[in-house]
Chain A
């Protein structure tokens, strides 16, 4: 299996622009998670889905962030408008049931 796939791997954008991060989970996994990692706040869970349905979005920082999972093999995390404080590494992870989460390579986002 190819593992969790994320794109883009790096994104540099200007404040106010829309940013869309993409994730393809491992085939057969029914849970998908979006995390953000920063030096100051560590690893934070933003939102997670089960069978394409959002279960808990309490970690989404504010209305500028939104996430969708239109089908079992694709999810997006969108930031609109982006701000410099959104600069971070965003990880997508997937799991089968409530078991070990497998992380993608991450998207390194820099908002200028």
Chain B
């Protein structure tokens, strides 16, 4: 059974600081997604990572994938309050379209 684990589950950051969220998964996969969810809202797609070494960047967020280590990271640079949300990674094994989600990381950015 595929397991997807995020670390940390709760992250309180000061504005302007950098931090990384980690996503480990237990079965080989070449496709990993990152989503954002604001409180009481739906999930918004951030990134899709398709191969080993893939790196995607959007604004203050950068995601990477290491398929050999079964690890993806979401790096936050110079955090701002608007980044406060829950971030999920999701793994698609066998490129089937069936996603298994991590537990989510609740990020709070404060002054």
Contact = CB atoms under 8 A, between A and B. Distances in A.
Interface in A20-69: 31, 33, 42-43, 45, 48, 50, 56
B103 interface: yes
A50 B43 CA distance: 21
A93 B45 CA distance: 11
B42 A43 contact: no
Contacts, number: 44
A43 B45 CA distance: 15
B98 A101 contact: no
Contacts of A93: 43
B101 to A, nearest CB: 4
B57 interface: no
B45 A97 contact: no
Interface in B41-55: 41-45, 48
A93 B88 CA distance: 15
Interface in B69-111: 88, 92, 95-104
B25 interface: no
Interface stretch (A11-19, A79-87, A102-110): A102-110
A50 B103 CA distance: 26
B2 to A, nearest CB: 11
A75 interface: no
6 contacts: A45-B98, A97-B97, A99-B48, A101-B97, A101-B99, A105-B41
Interface of A: 31, 33, 42-43, 45, 48, 50, 56, 91, 93, 95, 97-106
User: What are the 9 tightest A-B residue pairs by CB atom distance, in nearest-first order?
Assistant: A98-B97, A43-B101, A103-B43, A103-B42, A100-B45, A105-B42, A98-B95, A42-B103, A31-B97
